[in-house]
Structure 1
Amino acid sequence: MTDVIKSNGKREQFSEQKVKNSIENAVKDAGFSPQEKMNVIEHASQDAAQMAQGQDEIKTRQIRDTILNDLEQDDQQVANAWKQYERQHGINY
């Protein structure tokens, strides 16, 4: 299994569900329902999972960059919502 190295140095096991939940929160904050944006959520979370697969460890920054890249290609509104979510919650990379 892949360990995620968080910005504070802590480690936890990679969870595709946690990635999906993060994207869903951004989608909700943007005023969309997760069902409206399910393809975007699935694509970004699957790409993050594929990137983590086979690695011993991965940094949250790498996961974030992969997700944001996918979102910017698939749906700019969701990408903007993700960035806004980070700002509102004080998430810095």
Structure 2
Amino acid sequence: MGPGGRHVGLSFMTGAMAQIDLGVLMHKALWLTSSTLRPKSDADKADIARDVTRHLLPLLGENEIRPVISAVLPLTKAADAHRLLESGGNFGKIVLEMPEKA
């Protein structure tokens, strides 16, 4: 992560415990934050959805930000995609491609 970078944790794939080097965190002035939607009220969730629609989706549409994609697999390989997720061997999203309509 580059200087001033931000890490936002939203869920865990391998458990809630992690070791981090706080010296690196401080030296690079990194931001480390987290959240979960489960305990939030419906009103809070609606506010978040509005903010995402207003602020994040336009950046995606303009290619100013892009998701990190680890693999793209056809839908027929969904089981392989699931195994890849379970193995922890990916960094980024695993995308399943839908077949084109005939």
Note whether the superposition's TM-score is higher than 0.5: no
Higher share in strand: 2
The two structures have a TM-score, normalised by structure 2, of 0.25
Higher relative contact order by CA 8 Å / sep ≥ 6: 1 or 2? 1
The two structures have a TM-score, normalised by structure 1, of 0.27
Higher share in helix: 1
